[in-house]
Amino acid sequence: MVQAVIAGIGDSKIGRVPEMTRMQMTIDAALKALDDAGLTVHDIDGLILHPAFHMSPRFHIIVAETLGIYVKTLADTTMMGGASYGAALERAKFAVESGLCQNVLIVGGEKLATGHQSGSAMMAAAGAHNLDYEYPFAATVPSYYALLAQRYFHEYGADESDLAQIAVATRKHAARNPTATYRDPITVDDVLNSPMISTPLHRLDCSLVSDGASAYVISGRGRSKDPKREIEFLGMGQAQSYYHMGQLAEGDGRGHDLVHTVLDVAAERAYNQAGLGPSDIDLVTLYDSFTITVAVQLEDLGFCDRGEAGKFVAAGNVDPGGKLPMNPHGGMLSNAHPGASAGMLCITEAVRQLRGEATGRQEHAEVALATSVSAIASNFSVTILGASIA
């Protein structure tokens, strides 16, 4: 069996990018990833792309046509919202390991900041909201996560300042990323004084909206121009539960409900495959759509006890140079959130860190864990990556 690796990564300009179209950014990221791997479009025989919020389900074919990738033995769109790109990685890995493909390109991009469509109404139309039984009651994505946060407080005796710690810690990392959108340090009071979006989530508990595109090339080990920069897959796991909040709340009668997510199942698969546990992870890049999303992930990944994420973060554990640096690029809370491809930034940052190429914000990183999340913290992928063995 072929060993699959991440052979190349590419990010377009990220942030507010009015001068580029979505297609330009997508192609830019793809070409950067190919160049990073030392491959060309002619080497690509698999393509996965999630069309995100307002493109046709055939957008991946349009990208293939634009790039000139004529023959593909795997062409897929992982229609899983924010969890798509973790799921795509697993599919690409299987394809390369099995010999179905030689080199798979995964690419995605979106313009949530300067695109011509924006706002919740667009997201609702694209399925981010449940149109029949939830959106009529004025549900927005922040209010969904606010409902999760409110229940989390009730179950654990946590409060807004616990979540605010997560925003504060993430901003410490963003200060070291020259292209992050927000870099000025913030305090817990700054978070609590920021405008309330939907109780208990303040603006600084919520991610940005950004433009951006990213890409990665998955290949067999040794195919890239510099195998010492190839990143190993140590373990992967996915788990999905539900979509309507009422259904999540009702739970499965086996320990899962709104606040107790199925991330534990995805994590167990990833850890078991890797033969590792939480204490073996040097660095995490977690999908931080909201501070509450981070809190439940830290807990369901086993880094701290349930209900203790705020305290874990307040103690400095996820800070720059901490025991478990989290989102060194500044995450979606401070760096960028380019829509459905946002989870890709978790992967590209983890790769940079593992390669020792995170200039200005390099952490000790031999084993990194990245997540991607969608629906209401109910669809997950976990990817444990390792530095090259070459």
Partner 1 sequence: MLNITRPLPTIDDDSRPYWESTKAHAMKLQRCNRCESFWFYPGPVCHHCGSTDYQWVQVAGTGTIYSFTLLLRAKGNPFENDVPIAIALIRLTEGPVLMSNLFDYDVDDLRIGLPVEVAYEDVNDEVTLPIFRRQVNP
Phi and psi torsions of 204, nearest 5°: -75, -5
Shorter beta-carbon distance to partner 1: residue 41 or 125: 125
List CB contacts of 219: < 8 A, sequence separation 6 or more.
Answer: 4, 5, 7, 8, 37, 39, 96, 102, 103, 104, 230
Run of H or E including 235: strand 231-240
Shorter beta-carbon distance to partner 1: residue 120 or 179: 120
- Measured from the CB of residue 137, what is the shortest distance to partner 1 in angstroms? 5
- Measured from the CB of residue 155, what is the shortest distance to partner 1 in angstroms? 9
- Measured from the CB of residue 260, what is the shortest distance to partner 1 in angstroms? 14
144 close to 289: Cβ distance less than 8 angstroms: no
- Measured from the CB of residue 116, what is the shortest distance to partner 1 in angstroms? 13
Shorter beta-carbon distance to partner 1: residue 7 or 148: 148
Shorter beta-carbon distance to partner 1: residue 146 or 346: 146
- Measured from the CB of residue 133, what is the shortest distance to partner 1 in angstroms? 5
Residue carrying structure tokens 């809190």: 295
Return the SS3 of 110.
strand
Task: Extract the tokens encoding 35.
Answer: 């160049």
Q: Report the alpha-carbon distance of residue 55 to residue 324 in Å, rounded.
A: 37
Q: Is 315 left (phi over 0), alpha (psi -120 to 50) or beta?
A: alpha
CA distances from 208 to 10, 181, 288, 335 (A): 21, 9, 10, 8
Shorter beta-carbon distance to partner 1: residue 13 or 151: 151
- Measured from the CB of residue 266, what is the shortest distance to partner 1 in angstroms? 23
151 close to 259: Cβ distance less than 8 angstroms: yes
Which residues in this chain contact partner 1 in the complex, by CB under 8 A?
118-122, 124, 131-140, 142-143, 146-148, 150-151, 154, 195-200, 244-247, 249-250, 258
Shorter beta-carbon distance to partner 1: residue 21 or 120: 120
The 8-class DSSP code of residue 205 comes to G
- Measured from the CB of residue 1, what is the shortest distance to partner 1 in angstroms? 38
Shorter beta-carbon distance to partner 1: residue 45 or 299: 299
